Chains A and B, each alone.
Chain A
Amino acid sequence: MAFLEIKGLVKRFGKLEVLKGIDLDLERGGFLVLVGPSGCGKSTLLSAIAGLDTISGGEILIDGEVVNDLRPSKRDIAMVFQSYALYPNMTVAQNIAFGMEMRGVPKPERDVAVERVAATLQMSHLLSRRPSQLSGGQRQRVAMGRALVRDPRVFLFDEPLSNLDAKLRVDMRTEIKKLHQSTGKTIVYVTHDQIEAMTLATKIAVLKDGALQQVGTPAEVYNRPANLFVADFMGSPSMNLLTAKAVSRNGVAGLELPRAHDAAIFLRLPPNIRAGAVQDGAELIVGIRPEAITDPDGADRNSPLVEIVEALVDVVEPAGSDTYVVTEASGKEVIARMRSDADVRPGQRIPFAFDLNKAVLFDPRTTQRIG
C-alpha cells in the first residue's frame, strides 16, 4: 500500500482554484519530485501535505492515516525551506534542537541527538555559531540537520537548493541523493529545476496550473512525455517540437516537414506508432530530442530506424562536451547534438541522423501524445 496518498486534493483561495483535484501516491522510501513552472501549485501542494495550508477538498493520508485535520507538528513530518528558515537568534545547536525542545524532550537527550546529526552532516564544528555566521551551503546543511534530527515519517523539501550557486547546488544535490539512499526515508521534493527532478526522483509529478500533467519515473517522463507541455518543460536544451504532415510516399507512411530553402524533409513513422494510428494528411507535431539528432557516426547503432537527412547548418554552438548544431525545419530552429570534435561550420550542408526510435508524436489540437 502507498505510504503517502493524496486523493482528489482541491485548494481554493477565494474563487481561484490553485489545486484542481490532485491524485498522487508514493511508496515507503520513495522520492517524489513535484516539478513545474512558478505558480503551478507545487509549493501549495507541499504546504498542504505539511499542514501549513488548509485544504478545500480531498484527503491526505500518511501511512494509512488521514491527516487532514492534524496540525503540522502532529503529522510527524519535517520540512526544509527555500530560505532555510533558520532562527536567527539561536545557535546552530539550538536551531536543530528547537523542535525536540518544543516536544518536551529532556536536554541530555537533545544534546545527544544534535551531536549525532551534526556528525552525520559533518558540521560538529559549527554547532555554536549563529546562522548569520554561516555560508549558504552551511545554512543548507543546518536546515537539513534540523529536519533529520526529528527522524520523521516524511521529509518535505521546498526548493532547498535554489538559493545556492551553481557549483554548490550540484554538490548538495548529490548529498541529498546519498542521504536518501542511506536513510531510506520517504521524501517529497519541490523544484522548478527539471535537472534536479531527473537526478533525484524515483517518481516525478509534473504540474501546470494546479493540475497534474504526468506522473512517472524520470525515464518515462523524459522519453515519453504525456503532452506538449511536459515535452517542452523537461530536458535542456528542450525537445525539438516541429509541425509535420502525415503522408505516404511510395506506400511508406511517413512525416513531411517543410523547409524554407530546401525540399521538405521526409521521415518514416517512428516504430512505436501503430500503423493506422495516423491518418494521411493529418497535421502532427513531432517531438525529437537534440541528442536524437546527431552526425551519422554518432547515431545509435541499435536503433531500428535512423533517417539521414542533408541540411544546411545555420549556427554552431560549441558547449564543451558537445557541439550543438542548428538547422531549420517547419519554420523553427532544429537543434542537433553532435560530438564536440565534429568539424562543422555555418553555411555547410551536412548529413543529420534522425533517430526516430526516440521520436514522439503529438496531436496539435489536444496537445496529447499519440500512441
Chain B
Amino acid sequence: MSGRVEGSMAGGGSAVSRVVIYGLLLVFAAIFLTPLFVMLITSLKSLDEIRDGNMLSLPQSPTIAPWLSAWGTACIGLTCNGIKGYFGNSIMMVVPAVAISTILGSLNGFVLTKFRFPGHKLIFALMLFACFIPFQAVLIPVARVLGMVGLGNSIGGLILVHVVYGLGFTTLFFRNYYEAFPTELIRAAMIDGAGFFQIFRRILLPASGPIIIVTVIFQFTNIWNDFLFGSSFASGDGVPMTVALNNLVNTSTGVKEYNVDMAAAMIAALPTLLVYVVAGRYFVRGLMAGAVKG
C-alpha cells in the first residue's frame, strides 16, 4: 500500500476520461462519508432544528449540548449518567486485553518461528483456524464457564475472552513477521550465551516495532468495536461502550433525542477514528495480514 510503484498502469487517455475517473471517485467518496457527516452535523443540532430542517443541511446554530448530555446525563436503562461510565468500562477492558494478547502473541510467534519442534505446524494450524470460527459456536460454554469461575458479568471476564479469542490473530501476525527475521541473529546470540528471554528482549523486541503497532491497532479496534461478547457476557452498568450505545439508541421510552444518539455514537467512534487517522496504514496492514496471511 505504500506509495507509487512503477508497475502502476499509466494514467490513460484523454482529458474526458480523466474527468470521468475523478468524478466517479469523488462520488464514491461522498457516499462513503455521508453517514459520518450526517452523524456529526446532527449531533450539533438542536432537536427543533432536526425536526424542521433537512438531514444534510449544516447546523444553523451549532450546539455542543447534545455531546454534554450524551457524555453525562443521557438515560440508559434506568440510570441517567450518560455514557461516560461505559466509556470507562471499554477503556478498562481494552487496555489489558490488548497488552496481554500482544505480549503472548509475540512470544508465541518467536517460539513458532525460531524453535522448530515436532508438531509446531499442527499447533500453528490449530491456532490459525481459531481466528476464523464463528463465535456463536463457543458462546454457550463461555457463558457457563465465566459464570462458574465467578467472572460472569465482569470486566475481568471480558478481558479473558478477548485475550483468548485474539490470541490466534496476534500469534499469526508475529509469526509471519518473525518468519522473515534472520535466524542467524538468534544463532549468534545463542553462541554469545544469551538465553530465551534475553534473546527475546535484547534481539527480537527492539526489531519488532512495526508489527507491535499493527497488532496493537488491530486488537484495539476489534475489542473496542466488539458487540457480541459485550452483549453476551456483561449487563447493567458493566457493559462496554458499544452495548451501552445500542441500548441508548434503541430505548423506546420518552422523546427520541436523535442529536444525543448521534453525539454518543461519535464519542464511541472517536478512539478508533483517532487511531485510524493517526496510524491508518498500520491498520490496513493488520487487516490484510489477517486476510491474506502475509
Q: Do A and B come from one complex?
A: yes
B193 contacts A85, CB within 8 Å?
no
Q: Is the C-beta of B80 less than 8 angstroms from some C-beta in chain A?
A: no
Q: Does B190 contact A (CB under 8 A)?
A: yes
Residues of B within 8 A of A87 (CB): 185, 188-189, 202-203
- Asked whether, in the complex, the Cβ of B185 is within 8 Å of the Cβ of A85, the reply is yes
Shortest CB-to-CB span from B23 to chain A, Å, is: 46
Interface size of B by CB at 8 A reads 16
| A58 nearest CB across to chain B (Å) | 21
Cβ-defined contact, A85 with B190, below 8 A: no
Q: Give residues of chain A (30-79) contacting chain B, Cβ–Cβ below 8 Å.
A: 47, 50, 52, 71-73, 77-79
Most buried by A among B188, B193, B202, B207: B188
CA distance A4 to B266 in the complex (A): 72
B145 to chain A, nearest CB (A): 40
Measured CB to CB, the nearest residue on chain B to A147 is B191
**Binary contact readout A79-110 vs B (1 if CB under 8 angstroms, 0 otherwise):** 10111011111000000001100110000000
In chain B, residues 181-198, which have Cβ atoms closer than 8 Å to a Cβ of chain A? 182, 184-185, 187-194, 198
CA distance A48 to B157 in the complex (A): 48
- A52 and B190 contact, CB distance less than 8 A: yes
Q: In the bound complex, do residue A83 and residue B182 qualify as a contact, i.e. CB atoms below 8 Å apart?
A: yes
Whether B3 is near chain A, meaning CB under 8 Å from some CB there, is no
Question: A50, B203: Cβ atoms under 8 Å?
Answer: no
Expressed in whole angstroms, the Cα–Cα distance for A79 and B190 within the complex equals: 11
How far does the Cβ of A150 sit from chain B's closest Cβ, in whole Å?
A: 8
Q: Which of A77, A86, A88 contacts B207 (CB 8 A)?
A: A88
User: In the bound complex, what is the Cα–Cα distance between A238 and B189 (angstroms)?
Assistant: 40
Question: Which residues of A have CB within 8 Å of B187?
Answer: 47, 50, 52, 72, 79, 81, 85
Interchain CB contact under 8 A, B207 and A85? no
How far is it, in angstroms, between the C-alpha of A87 and the C-alpha of B203 when the chains are bound? 7
A252-282 residues with Cβ-Cβ distance < 8 A to B are none
Smallest Cβ distance from B183 to chain A, in angstroms? Answer: 9
- In the bound complex, residues from chain A placing their C-beta under 8 Å from that of B190 are 52, 71-73
A162, B223: Cα distance in complex, Å = 48
C-alpha gap A85/B203 in the complex (Å): 11
A249 to chain B, nearest CB (A): 60
Q: State the CA gap A89–B190 with chains docked (Å).
A: 17
Within the complex, what minimum Cβ distance (angstroms) separates A132 from chain B?
A: 12
Nearest CB in chain A: distance from B94 CB, A: 29
Residues of the B chain whose Cβ atoms lie less than 8 Å from the Cβ of A73: 190-194
Query: Max chain A CB contacts within 10 Å: which of B192, B194, B202, B203?
Result: B192
Given A52-B187, A79-B188, A98-B189, are A85 and B194 neighbors across the interface (CB < 8 Å)? no
Number of residues on chain A facing chain B (CB within 8 A):
22
Closest chain B residue to A53, Cβ basis:
B187
B119 at the interface (CB under 8 A from A): no
In the bound complex, do residue A52 and residue B191 qualify as a contact, i.e. CB atoms below 8 Å apart? Answer: yes
Chain A residues 285 to 315 lying within 8 A of chain B, measured CB to CB, are none
**Which residues of A lie under 8 Å from residue B192 when comparing CB positions?**
73, 98-99, 102, 146
Q: Cα distance A99–B193 when bound, in Å?
A: 6
Q: Does B206 contact A (CB under 8 A)?
A: yes
Determine the chain A residues whose CB is within 8 A of the CB of B184 once the complex forms: 81-83, 85
Instruction: Given A87-B203, A89-B207, verify A81-B188 contact (CB < 8 Å).
Output: yes
Q: Mark B70-83, 1 if CB is under 8 A from A, else 0.
A: 00000000000000
Does A102 contact B185, Cβ atoms closer than 8 Å? no
Given contacts A81-B184, A82-B184, A83-B184, contact A99 B207 (CB under 8 A): no
- Assess the A85–B188 pair: CB atoms within 8 A: yes
Would A85 and B182 count as touching, CB distance under 8 A?
yes
Give which listed residue, A52, A82, A103, contacts B193 with CB less than 8 A.
A103
Instruction: Give A136-161 interface residues, CB cut-off 8 Å to B.
Output: 146
Find chain A residues with CB under 8 A from B206 CB. 88-89
CB-CB under 8 A from A72, the residues of chain B are 187, 190-191
Contacts of B198 in A (CB 8 A): 102
Residues of B within 8 Å of A79, CB to CB, are 187-188, 191
- Interface mask (A6-47 → B, CB under 8 Å = 1, otherwise 0): 000000000000000000000000000000000000000001
A83 and B187 alpha carbons, distance in the complex (Å): 12
Listed by A's residue number, 14 A-B pairs whose Cβ atoms lie within 8 Å are: A52-B187, A52-B191, A73-B192, A77-B191, A79-B188, A81-B188, A85-B182, A87-B189, A87-B202, A88-B206, A89-B203, A89-B207, A98-B202, A102-B189
- Nearest first, the 6 A-B pairs at minimum CB distance are A73-B193, A99-B192, A89-B206, A102-B193, A85-B188, A85-B184
Starting from the known contacts A87-B189, A102-B193, A102-B198, 14 additional A-B residue pairs (CB-CB under 8 Å) come to A47-B187, A50-B187, A71-B190, A72-B191, A73-B190, A73-B194, A77-B191, A85-B182, A85-B184, A87-B185, A87-B188, A98-B202, A99-B192, A99-B193
